[in-house]
Amino acid sequence: MTELLKELTTPAPDMDDAIRFEDVVSGVFDATESEADPAALKRVLPPQPESPKLHKVLAQAGMGSRLEMEQLILEGRITVNNEPAHIGQRVQFGDHVKVNGKPIRFKIAPPAARVLAYHKPAGEVVSHDDPQNRPTVFRKLPKLFQGKWQSVGRLDLNTEGLLLFTSSGELANNLMHPRFGLEREYAVRVLGALTLDEKHKLLDGVRLDDGMAQFSSIEEGGGEGSNCWYRVTISEGRNREVRRMLESVGHAVSRLIRIRYGSMVLPRGLKRGAWVELDEADIRLLTRASQTQGEIGSAEPAPADKRMPNGRGAGGVVRSRNSPGRGSTRSPTTGKMSSQQPDPLKTSVGYIGADSFSRQRQDAGKKRGGGPGAGRRPGGRSR
């Protein structure tokens, strides 16, 4: 526990390789798209650990020698997933093997979780099969040898920014489930400035068709004319929730960009339609961050004798366990919501994504022969 607390509070490295809200408002975010793109490097996912051969697995399961197992295969007495086995066949986690019609138990370690960070452009749908035949985000992803990519939540057609994919259903559930309370951070441009009363409504909660919804925080970001930028955070991901909330107080959304999901940030330089694979170290941090936030969200409320009769804490701060913020508090002086989840831009945990991206760019530069500025091209550009 001490090690985890130390990790959560350690100052992060320079965040120059992460997209921040200020980059979106200043135009840096869009400017990177117009930069010249060096010659593309073909990147493919590293191979999965080799699947063992069937006769070896059966021999290790105590069915007999390898030669005896090969003979059974030749005689057609062994099936894999209800299909006759063949000499040299390999099996993997999840396969069903039968000898003489009897299921055989064997152990093969499941493949390690893999995670992709994808920069979704506007105009793509998050669906494997779209009835309207619109471009989907999955068409640009690399092929998995086992299983399929699962999107961590969704972004609607006109929303752009960070979208995560993983091969692990358990990790996807931990990252998406409301009880884990992972914050999503968006840069949103609306028509007309929000009034103080409208901000309070959005922080306190507005009623939508599918229930109450609220932002954890709202920060002004400037803008030109009637177009105003805001940095908002929310701890759930219902369909078009951010847009519907702002429309409920009379403001149409003209642009919406997700720049953070939990402790995962959108890497600077990862162009629209490109992906980057997280390395093992960043996947461990991402998994630990989701589990840690889940523990924070499930914390027990303060004892009754420590609370004021009106439901306020001893410090006069309103607390709500059931709000989407999961442990969020409202400052009595600023009126802003603050979450117990650490700010990813101020902790080492928050450097997830940008670090993997930087390492892959450096590796790409070395393969080209190095030199100043080498490896500055985003990794994972689909072709």
User: CA dist 258 to 35, 55, 92, 261, Å?
Assistant: 21, 49, 36, 8
Q: Where are the alpha helices (DSSP H) in 75-160?
A: none
Task: Identify the pLDDT of residue 206.
Answer: 94
Confidence class of residue 5 from pLDDT cuts 50, 70 and 90?
very low
Task: Identify the pLDDT of residue 359.
Answer: 67
Tell whether the model's pLDDT for residue 1 goes beyond 50.
no
Tell whether the model's pLDDT for residue 132 goes beyond 80.
yes
Q: What tens digit of pLDDT does each residue of 59-90 get?
A: 988 889 999 999 999 999 999 999 999 998 98
Confidence class of residue 155 from pLDDT cuts 50, 70 and 90?
very high
Rounded to whole angstroms, the Cα distance separating 24 from 115 reads 25
As a whole-number percent, the residues of the chain with pLDDT over 90 amount to: 36
What predicted TM-score, i.e. pTM, was given to this entire model? 0.67
Domain boundaries along the sequence of the chain: 1-47+112-300+317-383, 54-103
The answer for residues whose C-beta is within 8 angstroms of residue 156's C-beta and 6 or more apart is 239, 240, 243
> Quick one: how far is CA 278 from the chain centroid?
10
Higher pLDDT, 331 or 29: 29
The CATH H-level superfamily of 54-103 is RNA-binding S4 domain (3.10.290.10)
CATH number 3.30.70.3270 given to 1-47+112-300+317-383: no
Catalytic residue (one of 130, 156, 204, 343): 156
The answer for residues whose C-beta is within 8 angstroms of residue 127's C-beta and 6 or more apart is 136, 138
For the chain, how many residues are written?
A: 383
Task: Identify the pLDDT of residue 349.
Answer: 41
Rounded to whole angstroms, the Cα distance separating 29 from 22 reads 9
User: CA dist 261 to 105, 146, 175, 213, Å?
Assistant: 39, 26, 9, 18
Task: Identify the pLDDT of residue 217.
Answer: 94
Rounded to whole angstroms, the Cα distance separating 262 from 281 reads 16
Would you say 270 and 377 are in contact if contact means Cβ atoms under 8 Å apart?
no
SS3 (DSSP) at 356:
helix
Mean pLDDT of 261-290: 86
Which residue from 74, 155, 88, 167 is spatially nearest to 120, judged by alpha carbons? 155
Q: What is the rounded end-to-end Cα distance, in angstroms, of the chain?
A: 44
Residue 30 annotated among the catalytic residues of the structure:
no
The answer for residues whose C-beta is within 8 angstroms of residue 185's C-beta and 6 or more apart is 21, 231, 232, 233, 258, 259, 260, 261
As a whole-number percent, the residues of the chain with pLDDT over 70 amount to: 67
Task: Identify the pLDDT of residue 42.
Answer: 42
Q: What tens digit of pLDDT does each residue of 207-248 get?
A: 999 899 999 999 999 888 789 999 999 988 888 999 999 999
Q: Which contacts qualify for 369-376: CB closer than 8 Å, 24 or more apart?
A: 376/38, 376/269
Q: Return mean pLDDT, the chain.
A: 75
Task: Identify the pLDDT of residue 27.
Answer: 84
Task: Identify the pLDDT of residue 161.
Answer: 94
Confidence class of residue 101 from pLDDT cuts 50, 70 and 90?
very high
* 99, β-bridge pairs: 78, 102
Task: Identify the pLDDT of residue 50.
Answer: 61
Burial of 208 (0-12, 13-18, 19+ CB in 10 A): middle
Q: What tens digit of pLDDT does each residue of 45-57 get?
A: 555 556 788 988 8
Which residue from 166, 156, 177 is spatially nearest to 117, judged by alpha carbons? 166
Rounded to whole angstroms, the Cα distance separating 210 from 244 reads 11
Task: Identify the pLDDT of residue 170.
Answer: 86
